[in-house]
């Protein structure tokens, strides 16, 4: 298996605050309502934790992934990744730092003109300094790990919903990040496949576990059994749930 930890590109300008959690939201206004300071969102994703934020279309959960990647800045409160306010990083540092966060956007985000295999390969080809042989080795391992061998050459429009989600999940962990954000990752999947993918995404290459934040409108029992903490987001605020 190709080791990505020594990549020159990944190591450049990618500091962190020692002891800081992978992801933390503090008093964030998810819904753009400065007049409602009582409806602010706070949540910490600890190392190796799988945290689920559940809410409907009006809850504000669709903002969580964009905030975690610095694609948008909070209008109130703060969002930190490994202790750093990600939206405040200089542009180039932000591009590099994002490689430390795996991201599966709602709807999978696959490029329609590329095969599933080439979609999986994109981060490894363009965000590392590895040679072609090393890239191919890494991509082949991901194809095997996410059970995509039969569909690897298929383009997204011709692939099944399950295979598209498998490819998007494989791409999200292609650079072996310590933190992964999954937006509505299990829509259209069976309970069995959803639990399988969550378990696979959570496992790091070195045998450890990734920190994961997933958003969903609801969770099946098999997925809930893999989640370490669940919060229900209502009107922009997080309400703790029992496991």
- CATH number for the domain harbouring residue 73: 3.40.50.300
Q: Does residue 159 lie in a domain region?
A: yes
**H-run or E-run covering 52:** strand 50-54
How many CB atoms are located within 10 Å of the residue 134 CB?
A: 16
pTM of the full structure:
0.88
Q: Does residue 94 lie in a domain region?
A: yes
Q: Report residue 100's pLDDT band, with 50, 70 and 90 as the boundaries.
A: confident
Q: Please say if the pLDDT value at position 230 is more than 90.
A: yes
- Counting every residue written for the chain, the total comes to 243
Please give the mean pLDDT across all residues of the chain: 88
Bridge partners of residue 52, in order along the sequence: 214, 230
**H-run or E-run covering 85:** strand 84-85
Q: Does residue 2 lie in a domain region?
A: no
Pairing of strands 179-183, 101-104: parallel
Q: Does residue 27 lie in a domain region?
A: yes
Q: Does residue 234 lie in a domain region?
A: yes
Q: Does residue 3 lie in a domain region?
A: no
Report the domain count for the chain. 1
Contacts of 57 (CB under 8 A, 6+ apart): 217
More confident residue, 135 or 202: 202
Cα–Cα distance measured from residue 14 to residue 84, given in angstroms and rounded to the nearest whole number: 10
pLDDT, one tens digit per residue, over 102-148 is 999 998 899 999 999 999 999 888 766 667 788 889 999 999 999 99
- What's the domain range around 228? 8-241
Q: Does residue 1 lie in a domain region?
A: no
Q: What is the predicted pLDDT for the residue at 11? A: 36
Q: What is the predicted pLDDT for the residue at 130? A: 64
pLDDT, one tens digit per residue, over 61-93 is 999 999 999 999 999 999 999 999 988 888 888
How many CB atoms are located within 10 Å of the residue 5 CB?
A: 10
For 86, left (φ over 0), alpha (ψ -120 to 50), or beta? Answer: alpha
């Amino acid at each position: 298996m190709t080791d990505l930890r020594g990549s020159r590109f990944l190591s450049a300008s990618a500091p962190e605050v020692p002891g800081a959690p992978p992801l933390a939201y503090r008093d964030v206004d998810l819904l753009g309502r400065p007049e409602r300071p009582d409806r602010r969102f706070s949540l910490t994703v600890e190392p190796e934790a799988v945290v689920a934020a559940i809410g409907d279309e009006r809850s504000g959960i669709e903002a969580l992934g964009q905030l975690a990647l610095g694609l948008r800045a909070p209008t109130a409160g703060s969002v930190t990744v490994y202790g750093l306010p990600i939206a405040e990083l200089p542009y180039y540092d932000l591009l590099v730092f994002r490689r430390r966060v795996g991201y599966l956007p709602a709807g999978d985000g696959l490029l329609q003109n590329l095969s599933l295999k080439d979609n999986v390969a994109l981060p490894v080809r363009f965000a590392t300094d590895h040679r072609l042989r090393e890239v191919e080795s890494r991509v082949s391992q991901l194809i095997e790990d996410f059970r995509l061998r039969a569909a690897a050459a298929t383009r997204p429009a011709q692939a099944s919903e399950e295979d598209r989600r498998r490819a998007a999940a494989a791409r999200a962990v292609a650079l072996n990040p310590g933190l992964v954000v999954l937006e509505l990752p299990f829509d259209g999947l069976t309970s069995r496949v959803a639990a399988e993918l969550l378990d696979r995404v959570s496992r790091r290459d070195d045998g450890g576990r990734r920190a994961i934040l997933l958003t969903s409108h609801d969770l099946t029992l098999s997925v809930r059994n893999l989640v370490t903490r669940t919060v229900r987001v209502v009107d922009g605020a997080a309400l703790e749930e029992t496991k």
